[in-house]
Amino acid sequence: MFSNLKPLPTDPILGLMAAYQQDTNPNKIDLGVGVYKNEQGDTPILESVKKAEAFRLENETSKSYIGLAGDLGYCRKMESLLLGEHSALLADRVRTAQTPGGTGALRVAAEFIARCNPQATVWVTTPTWANHISLFEAAGLQVKEYPYYDYENKGLLFDEMITALKQVPKGDIVLLHACCHNPSGMDLNQEQWKVVAELAKDVGFTPLVDIAYQGFGASLNEDAAGLRVLADTVEEMIICSSCSKNFGLYRERIGACSIIAKDTAVANVSNSVLLSVVRGIYSMPPAHGATIVDTILGSEELTGLWHQELAQMRDRINGLRSLIVDNLHAQDVAQDFSFIKHQHGMFSFLSITKEQIERLQKEYAIYIVGSSRVNVAGVSKANIEYFAKAVADVIK
């Protein structure tokens, strides 16, 4: 049976990781992998996480399963983090399952959608996170794209986006990035979220919000503002969240899939289907990451410390955006990179050619994916001048 298999191409980002690790150039820079890095190029463990882990090790009393929905304390706290004191929570319309990371949340959501309507099409932004399409297709769902990023003007194609979404059939799913759009860094503003929310209500499509970077854009609440506008407007929606970035828990694989239904009765039925999906994929989620988040959000002291650490990461990213623009400008390049300052989160397109990207890798050991998407957090004060000079050289 196995001899009939044919090799599949390596994921471009994973291939880039391998090439970077093998590169012996002491000046090498990795701008491909989507993880937060500090000034030393490390992805550190937050102090709030260390304290929560110490508390867990001291107080854990069992290694038994934690149930299909996962850590219920974690689930409730994630709902509050995402929705605040929203009326949907007060009306008991929200149900959440802990998942193995944000990717796991999306996979669970895909199977849940297939149970609700196997004929549904999932509409994603052009461009979107590379793994979105394969996750939905794995559940047998059709995926189509709608206009989003304006490559030429480095902004949003909002009018084109709305025109396309008006044509989405009732019962289809529209995937929206809550904040820090991956890969473009371009987000909807509050007024645009209101337009999309009213459109979802009028057209009848179901929003699926991917919120993987809450707190990395403007603030925890501002980054969830669009999501909350949708929840104010539509009866049903799905939220896929992740704690990989804002808690730095990448390898703990901790996320959540939340369903907002029109009333408590439908929420209960939806929850039974959601947990059936979980049972058929991984049965029970791991406990460690959820307990860490639950402990932090359940402690006033640790929550305060986490807020400080999150603000430091966010401020560093925003500062690096300005630093990149200023250093490229100092190289007298003709290309305008000022748009990088106005985007959010870790990612942005440099909008350079594949040949220029190849030269950056070959001549300067600067690793960027083929779309020219860069992880802003991979730059530091120590390497920014080297980076800017390299970019200037390949584009002149």
What is the DSSP track for 192-216? Answer: HHHHHHHHHHHH-PEEEEEES-TTS
How does DSSP classify residue 371? Answer: T
CB 367 within 8 A of CB 30: yes
Q: Which residue from 98, 80, 93 is spatially nearest to 240, judged by alpha carbons?
A: 98
Residue boundaries of the structural domains of the chain: 10-44+302-395, 65-298
* 9-18 as b/e: b if 16+ CB within 10 A: eeeebeebbe
Q: How far apart are CA 190 and CA 74, in angstroms?
A: 28
Q: Is 384 exposed, middle or buried (0-12, 13-18, 19+ CB in 10 A)?
A: middle
**Encoded amino acid at 185, one letter:** G
Q: How far apart are CA 3 and CA 176, in angstroms?
A: 41
Quick check: helix, strand or coil at residue 242? strand
How does DSSP classify residue 378? Answer: G
CATH superfamily of 10-44+302-395: Aspartate Aminotransferase, domain 1 (3.90.1150.10)
How does DSSP classify residue 4? Answer: G
Check if 10-44+302-395 and 65-298 are the same fold.
no
Task: Tell me the CA end-to-end span of the chain in Å, nearest whole number.
Answer: 53
Beta partners for 99?
A: 255
Quick check: helix, strand or coil at residue 347? strand
Instruction: Tell me if the bond preceding 127 is cis, omega within 30° of 0.
Output: yes
Quick check: helix, strand or coil at residue 135? helix
Q: How far apart are CA 181 and CA 348, in angstroms?
A: 9
Diameter of the chain measured on Cα atoms: 63
CATH 3.40.640.10 fits 65-298, yes or no: yes
CB atoms within 10 A of CB 63: 7
Q: How far apart are CA 254 and CA 293, in angstroms?
A: 9
CB 53 within 8 A of CB 391: no
CB atoms within 10 A of CB 125: 25
pLDDT at 18: 86
Write the DSSP assignment of 271-325 as a string of letters.
Answer: HHHHHHHHHHHTSS--SHHHHHHHHHHT-HHHHHHHHHHHHHHHHHHHHHHHHHH
List the pLDDT tens digit at each of the 396 positions of the chain.
999 999 988 777 778 888 899 999 999 999 998 899 999 999 999 999 999 999 999 999 999 999 999 999 999 999 999 999 999 999 999 999 999 999 999 999 999 999 999 999 999 999 999 899 999 999 999 999 999 999 999 999 999 999 999 999 999 999 999 999 999 999 999 999 999 999 999 999 999 999 999 999 999 999 999 999 999 999 999 999 999 999 999 999 999 999 999 999 999 999 999 999 999 999 999 999 999 999 999 999 999 999 999 999 999 999 999 999 999 999 999 899 999 999 999 999 999 999 999 999 999 999 999 999 999 999 999 999 999 999 999 998
pLDDT at 67: 96
CA atoms within 13 A on the CB side of 196: 30
Q: Which residue from 81, 263, 266 is spatially nearest to 178, judged by alpha carbons?
A: 81
How does DSSP classify residue 119? Answer: T
Collect all residues with Cβ–Cβ distance below 8 Å to 246 and sequence separation of at least 6: 213, 214, 215, 216, 220, 310, 313
Active-site amino acid positions = 129, 210, 245
Q: How far apart are CA 211 and CA 255, in angstroms?
A: 10
The CA-based angle 20-361-331, given to 5 degrees, is 125
Write the DSSP assignment of 38-103 as a string of letters.
Answer: -TTS--PPPHHHHHHHHHHHHH----S---TT--HHHHHHHHHHHHSS-HHHHTT-EEEEEEEHHH
CB atoms within 10 A of CB 376: 23
